[in-house]
Amino acid sequence: MEEDRPRRTGTFWTASAHISSAMVGTVLLSVAWDIAHLGWIAGPVAMCLISFLCYCTSWLLCDCCDSASPDRNCTYADFVRSILGMEFHYCFVASHYFGSRTLIKLPINFSIQMYSKKSRVNFNYVIIGTLDSQNISIFRVIFSGGVKAKACAFIQYLTLFGMVIELTVTASVSMMAIKYTEKNCLHKSNGEKECYILSNPYAIIFGITEILLSQIPDFDGIWWVSIVSVVMFFTNALIGLGLAIARVAAGRKDESNEAESETQKIWRSFQALGDIATAYSFSEILIEIQDTIKSPSKSKTMKKATFWSTVVMTTLLMLWGCVAYAALGDATPKNLTDLAFDDGPFWLLYIANAATLIILVGGYQIYSQPVFAFVEEQAANRWPRTRDREIPLPGLGHYKMNLFRLVWRTVFVILTTVISMAFPLFNDVVEIITLGFWPLAAYFPVEMYIEREVIKRWSTKWVCLQMVSMACLVISIMATVGSIAGLKDDLKNYRPFKKIY
């Protein structure tokens, strides 16, 4: 019920910070590589097209907030369950059973007793016809726990789980880059001696940090983490732009020593599409972000935040990607940790990599909080005693402590950290999982909007919406194919727990 939920305290600014932090993710390090493999024309066009498609479907998803369900929907699956319940069967019910005349297409909620006698199951039904002569109404019964809602929840949480592992892998790389800068390997050795840095200690340090931050109770409490991440993004982008522009002005440009076949170029261009699609596909946490907004017109506020976040982030990412590609040429690395600009000032590189690390710390919380909330809600329903206990802290008031939350979230962070160390190629696996980009970012929003607005099949509006959905499906398939090909190549040099910078 509404009163059992955390109170909303979010605003346009906190929602924009959450969205921007989610969009940055790891794309900041790969956007130049994406532009390099798509080209000067196809790269910016793909970025604009995907951002526009994702904004349109996000708009539809925000609009579904004003659904007919009286309950507060806090997750993506809740909305799917509320609007796209699975059709169950038709039945006949005497209209006098409800004590009044029935109307066509009148949504009503009621409960019936199942044969199991263990619990009641809620159904929604819509009256589709009446037989006045016999005082009987025909109902279409919709089962509220439909397959679509379960599929949505599975895809959503699988995607979120993969994203936090990818962020852990990338964070360890950023920390190794900071250590590499501290040791000043390039400048001390003049390129004659290489420095080898193992990722495992840095992944553990990142994991310990996330264990501490993961004890923030809910999504609404991490607003400051997202704001700090966005500030660090602007810092990193400005430093990177400055270094890239200086490199272009000096006329220095590296050429790739790697010989790519035509097939590899195609697969990597597909993989670049997947990177961009992953950046703009924040639909898996959009509903959770929207639920934090305290404004009565939260869908309107969320649409505004989505629009401005998309415009600003697209502008900065495209500018950063194009300028970095102009500076580095075909030698642009996949993970651009600013060490590609090895001729830059030591302290500036250090700040840039530290800013990248802070961005990833915030991104981890953005993607993990919905998973935490889902598991803890299921645990609370099964074991009601898993409740908060207030612990007095001198000078700080009372802190709500939950033993289950402490243990579960710690185990989750440890699990993602171990997987990131054992399989540092998980970035490619996440891009394969991004086939979920289509159902979460396009299919469910489109289908819910069609159902909610009662749009007729094969009407102009219906066809346009389906074209948007199919465009996202094509992008998902291309991204998945490219990621599979990339993973196949990377597995040739794969060694568990042995990632070296």
Summarised one tens digit per residue, pLDDT across range 355-370 is: 888 989 988 999 999 9
What does the block give as tokens for 238?
Answer: 């400005």
Ranges of residues in the chain whose predicted pLDDT is under 70: 1-7, 26, 65-73, 85-146, 181-195, 252-260, 295-296, 337-344, 384-400, 426-428, 430-436, 497-501
What does the block give as tokens for 57?
Answer: 């479907």
Helix axes 283-290, 12-24, angle to 10 degrees: 160
Q: Which one-letter DSSP state was computed for residue 208?
A: H
Q: Which amino acid is at 234?
A: F
Among 144, 166, 193, residue at a domain's last position:
144
Q: Which one-letter DSSP state was computed for residue 250?
A: T
* pLDDT tens sequence across 387-412: 666 666 555 555 667 788 889 999 99
Among 129, 144, 159, residue at a domain's last position:
144
Are 75 and 377 in contact, with CB atoms under 8 Å apart? no
Q: Are residues 437 and 398 in the same domain?
A: yes
Q: Within a 10 A sphere around the Cβ of 335, how many other Cβ atoms? A: 19
3-state secondary structure at position 385: coil
Among 144, 161, 191, residue at a domain's last position:
144
What does the block give as tokens for 267?
Answer: 């697969």
Q: Which residue blocks in 11-68 are alpha helix, DSSP H?
A: 12-24, 27-38, 42-63
Domain assignment present for 498: no
Boundaries of domain holding 281: 2-73+148-493
What does the block give as tokens for 335?
Answer: 């993970």
Tell me what pLDDT residue 297 has: 74
Are 312 and 45 in contact, with CB atoms under 8 Å apart? no
The total domain count for the chain is 2
Q: Are residues 62 and 90 in the same domain?
A: no
Q: Are residues 123 and 46 in the same domain?
A: no
- C-alpha–C-alpha distance, residues 187 and 453, integer Å: 63
Domain assignment present for 500: no
Domain assignment present for 222: yes
Q: Are residues 160 and 260 in the same domain?
A: yes
Q: Are residues 226 and 287 in the same domain?
A: yes
Domain assignment present for 81: no
- In SS3 terms, 430-493 reads as HHHHHHHHHHHHHHHHHHHHHHHHCCCCCCHHHHHHHHHHHHHHHHHHHHHHHHHHHHHHHHHH
Q: Which residue, among 352, 272, 302, 257, has the nearest Cα to 61 in the 3D structure?
A: 302
3-state secondary structure at position 402: coil
126 DSSP β-pair partners:
107, 140
Domain assignment present for 47: yes
CA dihedral 150, 152, 158, 161 (to 10 degrees): -110
Q: Tokens 């990412």 sit at which residue?
A: 317
Q: Which one-letter DSSP state was computed for residue 344?
A: S
Q: Are residues 265 and 193 in the same domain?
A: yes
Identify the CATH number of the domain in which residue 393 sits. 1.10.4160
What does the block give as tokens for 358?
Answer: 């802070």
Domain assignment present for 79: no
Handedness of CA 263, 265, 266, 268 (dihedral sign): positive
- C-alpha–C-alpha distance, residues 280 and 300, integer Å: 20
Q: Which amino acid is at 261?
A: S
Q: Are residues 118 and 155 in the same domain?
A: no
What does the block give as tokens for 76?
Answer: 């993506």
Q: Are residues 330 and 392 in the same domain?
A: yes
Domain assignment present for 501: no
Domain assignment present for 133: yes
Q: Are residues 59 and 46 in the same domain?
A: yes
| Contacting residues for 233 by C-beta, under 8 A, at least 6 apart | 20, 21, 24, 28, 316, 355, 359
Q: Within a 10 A sphere around the Cβ of 348, how many other Cβ atoms? A: 16
Are 363 and 229 in contact, with CB atoms under 8 Å apart? yes
Q: Are residues 132 and 253 in the same domain?
A: no
Q: Are residues 58 and 104 in the same domain?
A: no
What does the block give as tokens for 366?
Answer: 């953005």
- Rg, Å, the chain Cα set: 25
What pTM was computed for the model? Answer: 0.80
Q: Are residues 264 and 169 in the same domain?
A: yes
- C-alpha–C-alpha distance, residues 128 and 87, integer Å: 13
Tell me what pLDDT residue 254 has: 58
